[in-house]
Amino acid sequence: MLCSAMASSFPAIAAAAHLRPSVARMPRSGVRPRAPLLCEVVRSSLSARKPLYLTPNRGLCSAKPRGPFSETRADEASRNDAVPLSGEEESRSAAAQKLKIGFYFVTWWALNVVFNIYNKKVLNAFPYPWLTSTLSLAAGSLIMLAFWAARVTEPPKTDMGFWKSLILVAVAHTIGHVAATVSMSKVAVSFTHIIKSGEPAFTVLVSRFLLGEAFPLSVYLSLLPIIGGCALSALTELNFNITGFMGAMISNLAFVFRNIFSKRGMTGKSVSGMNYYACLPLLSLLILTPFAIAVEGPKVWAAGWQKAVTEIGPHFVWWVVAQSVFYHLYNQVSYMSLDEISALTFSVGNTMKRISVIVSSIIIFRTPIQPVNALGAAVAILGTFLYSQVTRAFLLE
C-alpha cells in the first residue's frame, strides 16, 4: 500500500528509482545484489530526516555522493548492501576474488618488466621513440583484430557514444605512452620509473584542484615522502636529462587522466576490461600516426633501422616485436585489473609494480646508482605504501 501510494504521488521519484545501471552488473564478490524497494528508501530517509539524492550508479539513495570518485566508493559499498547466500560461500567468493586480482597484479607486473627491458634495448639501438610508440600500438591493434576475427574473444558491442567517450581516454593514453617512451630513450629505465612512482601525487592533486574531490589530511601527508623521494632521486641521478625528466612527469599526468576517464567510461558499460583496452590502441594509433610521421618521418626511420640491424643483427627485429607485443599484453592485463578495482587502487598497484621494474633494470643494465639515489627511491616507495594504506581507509569509509 505504501509503495503504491508513494509511486502514484511522486511519479518523478518513482521513475528515478529505476535508474540503477550498476545493479545489472554482478558485484565483484559474486554475491547477488539486493535492490532496496522505493518505499524502504523513502521511509528510511523520512524517519532520519535526511534528503534523497539521485546518483548515477545507485539510483535513489539517502547517501550524498562525495565527488567524482563516488562511483568507485559506491562499488565498494555495494558489497555491504548485498545479501550473502551463506557465510561459507561468501568467504569462498571473497577469497577467489582476492586471488583473481592478485594473479592479475603479478602477471601485470611481470609482463611490464619484460616490456621495459626490451623497450630500453630497442631505444638504445634505435633512438626514435615516436615510431617505437606507434609500433607498440599497432601490434596491440593487430592482435585484438585477429582475436576478434578468429572468435578467440567475443568482439565488443559498441555504439557511437562509446567511441566518443573513449576519445579523451585515447588522447591521454597516447600522450602518456609517447612521453614515457621519450623519457626512457633519454635516461635509465630506473630513473624514469622512480619519477613515475610519483603518480599518486598527481592523482590526488588532479582530483582535488580540477575535479573537486576532497581528501583527509592523512592522504596529503602521505604524498610528502613520495614527492621528497622522487626529488632526491632526481637531484642525485648520474644520468639526469631534462627531456627524460619532463617526459616522465608528463606521462604521470596523462596516465592519471587516462585512469580516471577509463574507470568512468567502464562504469555501467557492457564492454569488459579486456575489450575496453582493445579498442583503446585502435583509436590511439589513429591519433599518434600522423604526429609520429611529422616529428620523425620515414626517411629518418629507414636510416636508423638499417643502422640498428647492421650493428645488432637479426636480434634487433625480435627486440622490436617483443617490446610491441609485451606492451600490449601488460596493458591488457592492467585493464582487466582496472575492471575489478577503483582508479585510485589501480594507481597504487601501478606504482608498486615499479619496484620490480627499477630493481630488474638496475641489475640487467648495470645502471650505476648512488646510495643517496637509492635512498630517494626507497623513500618514494615507502610513501607509496603509506599512501595506499590511508587511501584504502578513505575508500572504505
Residue 378 scores a pLDDT above 90? no
Are both 69 and 120 inside the same structural domain? no
Residue 362's pLDDT is 87
Number of domains in the chain: 2
The answer to whether residue 132 is domain-embedded is yes
Instruction: Identify whether residues 55 and 173 lie together within a single domain.
Output: no
For 170, list phi and psi in degrees, rounded to 5.
-65, -40
Question: Where in the sequence is the domain holding 321, given as residue range(s)?
Answer: 103-395
In this structure, are 71 and 220 located in the same domain? no
Give a yes or no: residue 95 inside a domain. no
Is there a single domain that holds both residue 213 and residue 280?
Answer: yes
What is the average pLDDT score of the chain?
77
So what's the pLDDT on residue 70?
A: 43
- Calculate mean pLDDT across residues 132-154: 92
- 335 & 212 share domain: yes
Is residue 151 assigned to a domain?
A: yes
Percent of the chain with pLDDT over 90: 30
Comparison of pLDDT for 41 and 93, the residue scoring more: 93
Mean pLDDT, residues 358-373 taken together? 86
pLDDT on residue 366: 86
Above 70 in pLDDT, residue 105? Answer: yes
Q: How confident is the model at residue 267 (pLDDT cuts 50, 70, 90)?
A: low
How far is Cα 12 from Cα 17, in angstroms, rounded to an integer? 9
Please tell me the predicted confidence (pLDDT) of residue 67.
41
Same domain, 244 and 378: yes
Residue 67 shares a structural domain with residue 122? no
User: Above 70 in pLDDT, residue 45?
Assistant: no
**Position 183 pLDDT exceeds 60:** yes
22, 108: one domain: no
